[in-house]
């Protein structure tokens, strides 16, 4: 796992905002804070940011009885992205390089991440992405891998972002692509409900990982997912959370697509924050 002590402070900021959203007493907020500190202390020797987040959300649900605290925000992000889809589909169609343009738009959509930052401007981010170069650029290798793959497994990340994934998937038009969402609500990550809402089911086979961590951890996922994962010729992994879970596997089938949103990932990949990344460890 890619984690260090700074991840804990990122969680404290995110959950402070989340606690303010919830209608619970100050005593409950204080009690949750102690639970969070205790959870970190008990897991600090083998800290995993995705698993820590999953456990924290489970603890929080015990206080709030709210199974999906970002439900409203996810719908708003999906609606905002859907309102832009025809504009960007036209932009992709008119571009000289439809693959690169749709890829940059899909990666720019990764800015929609309430774990890292809930203050973002998707239009500004996409506009900047379209005029930027990839900091790590294995996009040509990705394009060739897509052309040669009999089966593609595409691991999604956030709601809203899923709409821009859809544009990229429509552009590459692979006949045997499966899109994966989380097994249940966690942060603003996309679930089966989001996939249905934005029409992902119309263009791809959609399955759940069967696991509600904000990452992909194959050994903890459903048997169905594990079978797809084992058989895929190519795996496209969106976002920092999936990178944290999958990078240690050193699997040359995996291409990581993400926007770098924190110092921990920036230092790990040796690139600047806000960089666009298309990365495969075998190149």
Segment 211-228, tens digit of pLDDT:
999 999 999 999 999 999
Torsion 253-257-258-263 (CA) sign: positive
- For residue 278, which of 101, 174, 134, 113 has the smallest C-alpha distance? 134
- At residue 237, φ and ψ (nearest 5 deg) are -115, 120
- For residue 207, which of 220, 215, 196, 219 has the smallest C-alpha distance? 196
Higher-scoring residue by pLDDT: 116, 74: 74
Residue 85 has pLDDT above 80, yes or no: yes
**Statement to judge: residues 45 and 143 lie in one domain:** no
Please report the pLDDT score of residue 147 as a whole number: 98
**Statement to judge: residues 121 and 215 lie in one domain:** yes
DSSP string, 234-273: EEEEEHHHHHHHHGGG--TTEEEEEE--SHHHHHHHTS-T
Q: Which of 46, 64, 82 is the last residue of a domain?
A: 64
Q: Which of 64, 94, 109 is the last residue of a domain?
A: 64
Domain of residue 44, residue span: 6-64
Contacts of 79 (CB under 8 A, 6+ apart): none
Element (H, E) at 10: helix 6-21
**Statement to judge: residues 56 and 77 lie in one domain:** no
Q: Which of 64, 84, 100 is the last residue of a domain?
A: 64
Cα-Cα-Cα-Cα dihedral of 147, 122, 88, 128, to 10°? Answer: -80
- The pLDDT of 28-39, averaged and rounded, is 96
Q: Domain tally for the chain?
A: 2
- The pLDDT of 202-219, averaged and rounded, is 96
DSSP string, 45-57: GG--HHHHHHHHH
**Statement to judge: residues 144 and 272 lie in one domain:** yes
Predicted model pTM:
0.95
Helices (H), 95-176: 98-108, 122-130, 139-148, 161-172
Residue 177 has pLDDT above 80, yes or no: yes
**Statement to judge: residues 85 and 21 lie in one domain:** no
**Statement to judge: residues 83 and 25 lie in one domain:** no
Higher-scoring residue by pLDDT: 5, 281: 281
Q: Are residues 151 and 174 in contact, defined by beta-carbon separation less than 8 angstroms?
A: no
Segment 109-130, tens digit of pLDDT:
888 866 666 667 888 888 888 9
- The pLDDT of 228-256, averaged and rounded, is 96
Please report the pLDDT score of residue 189 as a whole number: 96
**Statement to judge: residues 195 and 145 lie in one domain:** yes
Q: In this structure, is residue 102 part of a structural domain?
A: yes
Contacts of 203 (CB under 8 A, 6+ apart): 166, 169, 170
**Statement to judge: residues 41 and 97 lie in one domain:** no
Contacts of 78 (CB under 8 A, 6+ apart): 159, 160, 162, 163, 194, 197, 198
**Statement to judge: residues 187 and 56 lie in one domain:** no
**Statement to judge: residues 60 and 76 lie in one domain:** no
CATH number at residue 226: 3.40.50.10880
**Statement to judge: residues 144 and 193 lie in one domain:** yes
Q: In this structure, is residue 1 part of a structural domain?
A: no
**Statement to judge: residues 149 and 58 lie in one domain:** no
């Amino acid at each position: 796992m890619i984690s260090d002590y700074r991840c804990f402070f990122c969680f404290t900021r995110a959950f402070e905002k989340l606690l303010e959203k919830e209608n619970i007493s100050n005593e409950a907020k204080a009690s949750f804070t102690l639970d969070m500190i205790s959870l970190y202390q008990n897991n600090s020797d083998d800290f995993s940011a995705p698993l820590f987040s999953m456990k924290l959300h489970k603890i929080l649900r015990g206080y709030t009885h709210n199974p999906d605290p970002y439900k409203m925000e996810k719908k708003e992000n999906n609606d905002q992205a859907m309102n832009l889809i025809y504009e960007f589909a036209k932009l992709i169609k008119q571009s000289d390089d439809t693959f690169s343009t749709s890829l940059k738009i899909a990666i720019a959509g990764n800015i929609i991440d309430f774990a890292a930052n809930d203050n973002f401007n998707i239009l500004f981010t996409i506009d900047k992405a379209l005029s930027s170069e990839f900091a790590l650029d294995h996009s040509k290798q990705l394009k060739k891998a897509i052309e040669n793959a009999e089966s593609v497994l595409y691991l999604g990340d956030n709601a809203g972002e899923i709409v821009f994934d859809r544009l990229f998937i429509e552009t590459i038009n692979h006949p045997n692509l499966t899109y994966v969402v989380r097994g249940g609500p966690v942060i603003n990550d996309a679930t089966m409900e989001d996939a249905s809402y934005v029409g992902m089911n119309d263009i791809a086979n959609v399955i759940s990982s069967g696991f509600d961590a904000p990452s992909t951890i194959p050994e903890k996922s459903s048997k169905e997912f594990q079978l797809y994962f084992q058989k895929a010729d190519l795996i496209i992994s969106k976002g920092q959370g999936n990178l944290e879970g999958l990078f240690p596997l050193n699997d040359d089938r995996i291409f990581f697509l993400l926007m770098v949103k924190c110092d921990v990932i920036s230092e790990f990949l040796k690139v600047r924050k806000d960089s666009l990344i298309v990365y495969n460890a075998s190149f």
